[in-house]
Amino acid sequence: MGRLFDGPWPIVIIIVVALLLFAAPKLPAMARSLGQSMRIIKSEVKEMKNDGKPESTDDASGPVEGKIVNHPQAKPAPTQHGEPTDGTDVPPSNRA
């Protein structure tokens, strides 16, 4: 007569039967969660593969020419004495 747990298959069958009996209502939620986890892992692996590759866009393919434009300076407003300020004057303090 053979032994009951001679190989791994009887143990696997007992575990599957126990899961079906006790966890049957939770199996759809577990399968859904497993599917979501697999999708997340798949997208992360895809992002990791694309990290090293530069994105190719038409408008960013070459150097951009730039020009320096000097805007005209506005003349400073005249002071009370009629002299233009150079921006370094400090207003008097209001000490009593």
Q: What is the DSSP letter of 21?
A: H
| In the predicted structure, residue 88 carries a pLDDT above the cut 70 | no
d(CA 54, CA 48): 12
Per-residue pLDDT reduced to its tens digit, 45-83: 999 998 877 665 555 566 778 787 787 776 666 556 655
Where does 23-94 have alpha helices with state H? 27-51
Give the 3-state DSSP-derived string for the chain, with helices as H, strands as E and coil as C.
Answer: CCCCCCCHHHHHHHHHHHHHHHCHHHHHHHHHHHHHHHHHHHHHHHHHHHHCCCCCCCCCCCCCCCCCCCCCCCCCCECCCCCECCCCCCCCCCCC
| In the predicted structure, residue 84 carries a pLDDT above the cut 60 | no
Find which of 17-21, 33-37, 54-58, 83-87 is predicted with most confidence, using mean pLDDT: 33-37
Confidence of residue 2 (pLDDT cuts 50, 70, 90): low
